[in-house]
C-alpha cells in the first residue's frame, strides 16, 4: 500500500516536471512548426545557472532570475538565429536547433565541468513533510508540484484571458491568418519561443536540485520530452498534461516493478519467444528508459497527430 502511494506521488512529481518541460515545446511546435531539439538543453542551462546563482544569491533569487535569463537567451536565439533559417524550410530549422543543442551541450561542461554539480535543495524546504510507511516524503517534492500547478494555471489564464493569449492561441492553428490580421507574428513567435525556453529553464531550476545536475541530463530527458509532446499532440497543452502524467506514471511504475520482461509477458498471457533469450530475462526496470523511444516511434508511425494535437508532425 505504501509502495503504491509512493509510486503515485513520485509519478505525479515526475509527470508534472515533464509537463513543465513539454508545454513550452508543444507551444513552440504548435505555433511555429519547429521542433526545438535544444529544448532539453535550455532545461539543463536552467539547472546549471540556478546552481551558480543560488550559490551566490540563494535559491529564491535563482527561482526568479534564471527563467528570465534562459527566456531572454531563447528569444535572442530565435530572433537572430532561427528566424534567419526559417526561410530555408523545416529541415533547416531542425538542423539549427540540433546544432544549438550540440553547442549548448559542449558549452555547459566547458563552464561547469563534466561532473555533476552540487546543486542542493534550499534548507528552508529540506525537510520531511509526512511519512509514507517507513519513508519520509520530502517537502521539496510537494513544492515542485505546487510550482508546476501554479505555472499551469498562470499559463492557462494568460492564454485564455488576455488579448495576447488570444493572439497566441489563434496563431497556434492559423499563423498566416493572424499575420494578415495585422499582428506582428514574428514578434509573437519570438515571445513564444522565449517563453517556452523560460519554462524549460524554470523546470531546470526546480528539478536540478531534486534530481542530479550534470551535463548529460539534456540527452536523457530529451527523448522523453519528445515522446510526451508527440503523444499528447503537438500544439495541445491539455494533451501535454495528460501525456506527461501518463508517461510519468509508466516510467516511475516500471522502475519500481520487480519483474522481468518475460514474467510480465507471462502475466499478460503472452508466450515468450525462443530467440533473443537475453532480452526476456531482463528486468522491466532496465527496459523502462527505452519505453519513451518506443512510444515516440509508434505514435509517429501510427498517428502523428497524437492524442489531441492541432498539427501533424
Partner 1 sequence: MLAPAHAAVAPSRAGGTARAALPWLLAAALALVLPHVVPGGFGLSLLCRMGIAIVFALSFNMLLGQGGMLDFGHAVFLGLGGFLAMQAMKLMDAGAWLPLPVLPLAGGLGGLLAAIAAGWIATRRAGTAFAMITLGVAELVIAVVLLLPGTFGGEEGLSGDRSTGPRLLGWDFGTQMQVYHLIAAWAWGCALLMWLYTRTPLGRLANAVRDNAERVSFLGYDPARIRWRVFALSGLFAGIAGGLAALNDEIVTAGTMGPEASSAVLLMTFIGGIGTFWGPVLGAVLVTFLSVALSTITDAWQLYSGLLFVAVVVWAPGGLSGILKAHAPLLRGGRLRGVVPGYLACLPGLVLAVAGVGGLAELAFRLQAVRNGASPRPVLGMALDPGAPWPWLVALALLLAGALLLRRTAPAARAAWQEASAASAVP
Residues at the contact surface with partner 1, assessed by CB under 8 A: 33, 35, 81, 84-85, 88, 90-92, 94-96, 98-100, 102-103, 106-107, 110-111, 113, 219, 223, 226-227, 230, 276-279, 282, 286-287, 289-290, 293-294, 296-297, 300-301, 304, 312-313
List the one residue out of 172, 155, 149 whose CA is nearest residue 244.
149
Q: Which residues of 277-297 are buried (b: 16+ CB within 10 A; e: fewer)?
A: eeebeebbeebbeebbeebbe
8 Å CB contact between 229 and 26: yes
The SS3 call for residue 70 is: helix
Question: Which CB, 3 or 277, lies closer to partner 1?
Answer: 277
Question: Which CB, 41 or 209, lies closer to partner 1?
Answer: 41
Q: Which helix (H) or strand (E) holds 15?
A: helix 2-32
Q: Which residues contact 19 (CB under 8 A, 6 or more apart)?
A: 148, 152, 228, 240, 241, 244, 245
Q: How far apart are CA 148 and CA 297, in angstroms?
A: 28
Question: Which CB, 86 or 141, lies closer to partner 1?
Answer: 86
**Least distance to partner 1 from the beta carbon of 265, Å?**
15
Question: Which CB, 179 or 304, lies closer to partner 1?
Answer: 304
**Least distance to partner 1 from the beta carbon of 94, Å?**
6
**Least distance to partner 1 from the beta carbon of 157, Å?**
30
**Least distance to partner 1 from the beta carbon of 24, Å?**
17
Compute φ and ψ for 114, nearest 5 degrees: -90, -5
Question: Which residue, chain included where needed, has cell 492557462?
Answer: 156
Give helix 2-32 / helix 139-161 axis angle, nearest 10°: 30
Question: Which residue, chain included where needed, has cell 555547459?
Answer: 108
**Least distance to partner 1 from the beta carbon of 262, Å?**
13
**Least distance to partner 1 from the beta carbon of 148, Å?**
25
List the one residue out of 220, 193, 251 whose CA is nearest residue 26.
193
Q: How far apart are CA 24 and CA 11, in angstroms?
A: 20
**Least distance to partner 1 from the beta carbon of 240, Å?**
16
Amino acid at each position: 500500500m505504501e509502495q503504491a502511494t509512493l509510486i503515485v506521488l513520485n509519478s505525479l512529481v515526475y509527470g508534472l516536471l515533464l509537463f513543465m518541460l513539454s508545454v513550452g515545446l508543444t507551444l513552440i511546435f504548435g505555433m511555429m512548426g519547429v521542433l526545438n531539439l535544444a529544448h532539453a538543453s535550455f532545461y539543463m542551462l536552467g539547472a546549471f545557472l540556478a546552481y551558480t546563482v543560488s550559490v551566490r544569491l540563494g535559491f529564491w533569487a535563482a527561482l526568479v532570475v534564471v527563467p528570465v535569463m534562459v527566456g531572454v537567451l531563447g528569444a535572442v536565439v530565435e530572433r537572430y538565429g532561427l528566424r534567419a533559417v526559417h526561410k530555408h524550410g523545416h529541415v533547416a530549422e531542425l538542423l539549427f536547433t540540433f546544432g544549438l543543442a550540440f553547442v549548448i551541450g559542449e558549452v555547459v561542461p566547458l563552464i561547469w565541468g563534466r561532473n555533476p554539480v552540487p546543486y542542493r535543495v534550499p534548507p528552508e524546504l529540506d525537510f520531511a513533510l509526512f511519512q509514507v510507511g517507513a519513508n519520509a516524503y520530502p517537502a521539496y517534492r510537494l513544492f515542485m508540484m505546487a510550482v508546476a500547478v501554479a505555472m499551469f494555471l498562470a499559463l492557462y489564464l494568460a492564454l485564455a484571458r488576455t488579448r495576447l493569449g488570444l493572439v497566441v492561441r489563434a496563431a497556434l492553428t492559423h499563423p498566416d491568418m493572424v499575420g494578415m490580421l495585422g499582428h506582428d507574428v514574428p514578434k509573437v513567435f519570438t515571445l513564444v519561443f522565449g517563453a517556452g525556453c523560460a519554462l524549460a529553464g524554470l523546470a531546470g531550476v526546480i528539478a536540478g536540485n531534486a534530481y542530479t545536475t550534470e551535463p548529460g541530463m539534456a540527452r536523457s530527458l530529451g527523448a522523453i520530452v519528445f515522446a510526451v509532446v508527440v503523444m499528447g499532440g503537438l500544439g495541445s497543452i491539455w494533451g501535454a498534461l495528460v501525456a506527461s502524467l501518463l508517461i510519468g506514471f509508466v516510467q516511475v511504475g516500471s522502475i519500481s516493478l520487480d519483474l522481468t520482461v518475460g514474467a510480465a509477458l507471462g502475466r499478460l498471457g503472452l508466450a515468450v519467444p525462443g530467440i533473443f533469450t537475453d532480452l526476456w530475462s531482463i528486468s522491466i526496470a532496465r527496459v523502462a528508459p527505452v519505453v519513451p523511444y518506443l512510444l515516440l516511434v509508434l505514435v509517429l508511425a501510427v498517428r502523428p497527430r497524437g492524442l489531441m494535437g492541432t498539427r501533424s508532425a
